[in-house]
Amino acid sequence: MSIEVDVVRVFTDANGHHGNALGIVDAALVPADRRQGLAAELGFSETIFVELPGPGAASTRAQIFTPATELPFAGHPTVGLSWWLRERGAAVDVLEVPAGPVTTYVDHGMTWVRAKPDWAPEFTLHPKPDSAAVVSTRADSFDSGHQYVWAWAGEGAIRSRMFAPLMGIPEDEATGAAAVRITEHLRRSLHITQGRGSQIYTVYSKDGWVDVGGRVHPDRTLSA
């Protein structure tokens, strides 16, 4: 039986360009023990499996997989799924993922989620002197861990790239979890340009939460 996979791009620019591809799958169609294999087959940096909410439901559960492992939380899958559910008329206020309840909302045309920084993986931060040094970084410089290369690019703005080879992600185009971590590290709200030109926004709060948001654009539907 073929499985329908909706693909959206998360954290696009204002013109719908760039963004990180996300596969969205109805969890009812794939047994739990086959989800990792399907994520590997699809090859997106993350694929999210969602229990479709019933009418009027305020929350629903989801699981997130890279090609190599399950994640307790990730930013671009939760932002992308929240947008996708709203487009289907099935908006929820909370996405229940293994890390905890992820509050989601829309503001100024962007989809946002709220997360605790310790839900995200630890990233090794590599500050660079300028954006050119970030852009010139080679993906094959790293063979392990979660590596986040960044530089200031203006007031409250940074340029970044992220590499996680052991997760099956040589380079991630737009990483919400890393955005949460760098926001906590710098202790300020940010406008992040990552990868080829993806746009991520964060709001820092002293109460221990970080909001991460951006634009989502539909891409395609495929069968697996």
The residue annotated as part of the active site, out of 4, 46, 87, 96, is 46
Count of H-run helices and E-run strands, the chain: 4, 15
Bridge-based pairing state of the strands 124-127 and 147-152: parallel
Reading phi first (left if > 0) and then psi (alpha if -120 to 50, else beta), residue 126 is in beta
Consecutive H or E run containing 25: strand 20-26
Which of 176, 180, 175, 173 lies closest to 139, judged by CA?
173
Q: Is 184 a catalytic residue?
A: no
Hey, what's the torsion of the CAs at 137, 139, 144, 145, to 10 degrees? 60
Q: In what helix (H) or strand (E) does residue 179 lie, and over which residues does it extend?
A: helix 176-186
Lookup: tokens for 183? 């926001």
SS3 of 40, please? helix
**Could you list the active site residues?**
46
